[in-house]
Structure 1
């Protein structure tokens, strides 16, 4: 699973700019500015907000799934157990689960050093995984295999959906992590600022 969110959502620069500009948050930001901006200034504002939003979508789907698994209690428990004994390896399995990761970034629009508008975005990614097996050794997540997986991704602004797409991802998925990634709730990778939950899927 190596695709970026941009590719999964079909969010090229032109599409993203159109969604943000045509009745979207760029219009709301312009309305919050006390004076009318010139056309070049309005274009620059739209370009900056599009670039900042696009940066949020550069994350890799596989990395997001791993970030979600990092908070799963069984993975954390296995990491603690194996950290205490380097000769122990634990296999954590998930039969039919949902892995949800949510990011809530905000962008400030400043005019003359004063904030006139705050753009709040929400990016939610939900994986439906079946037949997942994760290998944990020496306190690290070392290997992940998933039999089948689908992803549901939604980028929203306030209550408005900007982009949304659901689809199967390549299967089987095998993510080899070399020496492994340290598992600790307090050491989430910097790019993964958000919340993650793992729950059993209900029929």
Structure 2
């Protein structure tokens, strides 16, 4: 099963463009611009919105899951314990756990470098984790193994889902972190501006000049 967020959602350019149009998102942006756009400019608008929205989905499910697991107190406690005892390894186990990560990415629509619209989206990723075993050593998370993990991912606008998909991620799901990641450094992808904000640049309408 694909573990890249965009591939998991099946959100290729054609699908995103179709959903953005069907949901009324494109029309909302056109209404905000107010000036009638030519057909090529409208096509450019759809293409830019699609590219900017797709760019917000450039993340792996593994990274999102790790960011959500940070909130589990068992891992934080294990990191504290093993940080004080460098030779200690702590195995944290969970039979069943829900991990939910939410963010509100924004696409800024610029017309001739002026902001015309802010497209506010909602991205929700919910993992159902069964049979988790996480290894923490010297305050660092070094290995995660999950017997079964499913994900429900939804990208929404104005309360309606643009794209949504639920499926098994991997069975088992194994995440190897090499020398490990300091637990306190695992952050929510929404904290990264590159993942939380995109920009769609649309050329403004061309006005015919007298004698042109």
Q: Which has the larger radius of gyration?
A: 2
The answer (yes or no) to whether the contact 2:148–2:172 under 8 Å persists in 1 is yes
Q: 1:130: which partner in 2?
A: 130
Compute the RMSD of aligned alpha carbons: 1.7
String of CA shifts for 1:26-71, please: whole Å, max 9, x gaps.
2111111121112222211211111111112221111111111122
Q: Deviations over 1:100-120 (max 9, x none)?
A: 111211111123443221101
* 1:192 equivalent in structure 2: 189
Q: Are residue 35 (structure 1) and residue 32 (structure 2) matched? A: no
TM-score by length of 2: 0.84
How far apart are the structure 1 equivalents of 2:112 and 2:58? 30
**1:23 CA drift (Å):** 4.0
**Structure 1 residues not aligned, in runs of 5+:** 195-203
Q: Distance in 2 between matches of 1:2 and 1:85?
A: 38
Partner residue, 2:86: 86
TM-score, normalising length: structure 1? 0.87
* Structure 2 Cα separation of the partners of residues 2 and 140 of structure 1: 27
CA distance in 2: counterparts of 1:72 and 1:2, whole angstroms? 25
**2:208 corresponds to:** none
Structure 2, unaligned runs of 5 or more:
192-212
- In structure 2, the partner of 1:48 is 48
Q: Report SS of the residue matched to 2:189.
A: coil
CA shift, 1:8, in A, is: 1.5
Matching of residues 55-94 of structure 1 within 5 Å: 55-94=55-94
Question: How many residue pairs get matched?
Answer: 191
Partner SS for 2:100: strand
SS for the counterpart of 1:57 is coil
Distance (Å, rounded) in 2 between the aligned partners of 1:71 and 1:45: 39
Measure how far apart 1:147 and its partner are.
Answer: 0.8
Give the superposition deviation at 1:179: 0.5
